[in-house]
Structure 1
Amino acid sequence: MTLSVWFVLTPGVLLLDYAGPAEALRMAAEMGADLLLHHCAPVPRLATSLGVEIGGLRALPPELPPHSLLIVTGNACEAEDYARPEAHAVIDWLRHAPRADTAIASICSGALLLAAAGLLEHRQCTTHHSLIDDLRALAPTARVQENRVFVEDGQLLTSAGITTGIDLALYLIERHAGAELAARVARRLVVYLRRSGHDEQLSPWLAHRNHLHPAVHRAQDAMAQEPERSWTLAELAQRAHVSTRHLTRLFAEHAGVGVLAYQQQLRIARARELLADGRLSVERVAELSGFNSARDFRRVWRRHAAGVPREQRRRTAAAR
């Protein structure tokens, strides 16, 4: 069955909030997913966060057709943008346009528009980490989740926005058209690693990377590509084109973490992903993540994560 996807924009839309997930879904449709994309707004032409304009937008439909997905994008300057009459028109429209079978998603501050329309009451949701308090004020009964890439509550999905809009789009593609096509879209987008809704906004795969030293990045790239490999310091130094002693010093200075601790964080992140597969035993997860034994895995887990691996598996299963 064709899924009708409706992107809803307001003046000042943050362009990556819109273009990232829209391109992911467009590629999915091009690659065989049964998706039909629509782009609508209260005005036919509007300015974006970059100052350039988007034209050719459809009017907000009086009602959505059956089996629709509604995606409300975020904005760059919420206080100013959401005080505009166009934003109020979207809020009014959101109160009556969705059907009982309409799936609703928001990117970044789009969750504030959903909240203003009363769609988040008593629901689990999230938004960009800088807007968590604003969301709680607008939807006091909502169960707002912090530091999450996206949150799914039935037919409602809310995301942290910016690049996490792509994570959400890939999840939607997987849900509608299967994991294989979602993986193909991810490869085409050159997305390094897809995050799930259970991951933190500040992903371990991205942590300790906000520096500019090329040698440290080369070593980090090698470990991230094969976190399960038993990398020696000499092998990493060879990849980084520096001495072992120099790499150790550079890593601490620029990444702010030791080489071993960084590798352990990546292995724990990999293990979290594998634990979502209920067919894999904890022992097999430990092996695939690069740990010498399940005992070693549990020891390192306690250092970097709360509880025990089996609890993580139960939480993931319950959330899904």
Structure 2
Amino acid sequence: MTLAVYFVVTPNVLLLDYAGPAETLRMAADIGADLTITTCAPVPELHTSMGITLSGLSPLPAQLPDGALVIVAGNASEELDYARPEALAVIDWLAAQRGRDIRVASICSGALLLARAGWLDARPCTTHHALLDMLRQSAPSARVMEDRVFVDDGQVVTSAGITTGIDLALYVIEQHFGAELAARVARRLVMYARRGPNDPQLSPWLAHRNHLHPVVHKVQDAITRDPARRWTLEELAELAHVGPRHLTRLFTRHAGIGVVAYQQQLRIARARQLLADPALSMERVAEQCGFASARDFRRVWAMYVDDSPRAHRTSH
């Protein structure tokens, strides 16, 4: 099903809050993601934080399709900008969307608009570090979290702001269209795992890619496409047109991790997903992730996860 994405902007929108994630999603669509992007506002044109005018904006839709994603971009001067009638109109529109089968997200101070529309009541959320107190005042029952790049509460995703909107967009791409496509977009952006170390949504599919070496990227792309395959170092080296020893040195130097450990982390990430299906036996999970046996799977799991696979399955 096509993912319909609606960016909502208001006068004096912080240009990078909008353009960063919008371009990220556009690139995803260019390389195969089935999504549409609409930029809407309560007025047909408005000035941005850079003084550039955005025109041809769609009106706030009277009806959103089921499964739509609404992304609210932040502004440059929140106290003044969000007292304007255009921002008040967005708050009213957002409030009217509550209870519908959609998902909402915010970039930076866009969380304040979600808060005032009631979307963040009793939810964990975050925003730019300079706006945390303002967010607490706007949504007293919300659980405002500090030091988070973004927080996903299922129907609502909030991000810390500005460039973290790109992290959020990559996360959305990974959720809807898979890790390989998200990694391809990240590579095109020359931007990889920028999510903070305290972020529970840190993805091993995007980690260890914050480098520019084409040989290492080529090998990582191959492993990401098929982590369950029993790759040999010689196969990967031949794919990259280098020798096995040279590949080992390059991979460790630029990715900051060994080839085997990198593949193991992807397999464990896949196992986490499969364990959510109670119909799959532990042996079947191990097989689908490329492990020789359930015993081998448990051994590798213990290297990266504190609890056991069975405990993980029970807790989810």
- Please say whether Structure 1 and Structure 2 have the same fold, judged by a TM-score greater than 0.5: yes
Change (3 A) 1:233 1:134: farther
1:151 aligns with 2:149: no
Instruction: Find the counterpart in structure 2 of residue 177 from structure 1.
Output: none
Instruction: Find the counterpart in structure 2 of residue 101 from structure 1.
Output: 99
Change (3 A) 1:304 1:117: same
- Aligned partners of 2:150 and 2:168 also within 8 Å: no
Change (3 A) 1:166 1:210: closer
Instruction: Find the counterpart in structure 1 of residue 78 from structure 2.
Output: 82
Instruction: Find the counterpart in structure 1 of residue 255 from structure 2.
Output: 255
Identity %: 45
Change (3 A) 1:215 1:21: closer
Matches within 5 A, 1:169-208: 200-208=200-208
- Aligned partners of 2:5 and 2:71 also within 8 Å: no
Instruction: Find the counterpart in structure 1 of residue 88 from structure 2.
Output: 92
Instruction: Find the counterpart in structure 2 of residue 12 from structure 1.
Output: 14
TM-score (norm 2): 0.70
- Aligned partners of 1:12 and 1:47 also within 8 Å: no
Aligned length: 282
Change (3 A) 1:136 1:228: farther
Deviations 1:58-113 (A, max 9, x none): 5558xx559886724223xx5x3424435654553355442353446123222232
TM-score (norm 1): 0.69
Deviations 1:108-161 (A, max 9, x none): 222232124453121233557x68956864545323464656321xxx422443
Instruction: Find the counterpart in structure 2 of residue 34 from structure 1.
Output: none
Matches within 5 A, 1:1-320: 7-10=7-10, 11-13=13-15, 14-18=18-22, 39-48=39-48, 53-58=53-58, 71-75=70-74, 78=75, 80-85=76-81, 88-89=84-85, 91-93=87-89, 95-97=91-93, 98-99=95-96, 101-102=99-100, 103=102, 105-109=104-108, 110-126=110-126, 133=132, 137-138=136-137, 139-144=139-144, 146=148, 150-152=152-154, 156-160=155-159, 161-165=165-169, 167-168=171-172, 200-316=200-316
Structure 2 Cα separation of the partners of residues 4 and 261 of structure 1: 37
Deviations 1:43-63 (A, max 9, x none): 3212457875321335558xx
Structure 1 Cα separation of the partners of residues 306 and 132 of structure 2: 25
Structure 2 Cα separation of the partners of residues 17 and 24 of structure 1: 11
Change (3 A) 1:135 1:223: farther
Gaps in structure 1 of 5+ consecutive residues: 31-36, 175-181, 193-198
Gaps in structure 2 of 5+ consecutive residues: 160-164, 187-198
Structure 2 Cα separation of the partners of residues 58 and 300 of structure 1: 51
Report the AA paired with residue 207 of structure 1. A
SS at match of 2:166: coil
